[in-house]
Amino acid sequence: MVKATLSVVVGFLVWFVAATLGNWLLRALIPTYVTAEAGMDFTLPMLLGRLAVGFFSSLVAGYSCSWVAGRSRRPIYVLSIIMLAFFLPVHYRLLSKFPIWYHAVFLGTLVPLIILGGVLRARFQGRAANVP
């Protein structure tokens, strides 16, 4: 139980660390991003960049959660539900700031990408165990 809880906490924290690092990268790569960020007035490339950061963050969060959890898959599902519950009210508050497709893509891929990150870790570990 402690290991499962720790794995969910690690996955949650890793999501936000990865998102923060990705956001810094967007700021560095897109000169007008910081200005747009202040008013949440993002261009299409900026929105796509934000989604890419979210995709990556979800994958590494699921991977990290799975890595700590070991063989148990339940913590990955718990993490995905917690993340969705966390982001639903955030996106509801931001509904008027972004196009509806942005919210649908972010929320619609959040759970599957976290689970995929966990599955990928299990597959990579399985392959590594089979290598002589």
For 83-119, write each residue's pLDDT tens digit. 999 999 999 999 999 999 999 999 999 999 999 999 9
Indicate the domain borders of the chain. 2-130
- d(CA 45, CA 43) in angstroms, rounded, equals 6
Above pLDDT 70, what percent of the chain? 95
Sorting pLDDT into bands at 50, 70 and 90, what band is 82? very high
Contact call for residues 114 and 79 (beta carbons, < 8 A): yes
Tell me the three state secondary structure of residue 40: coil
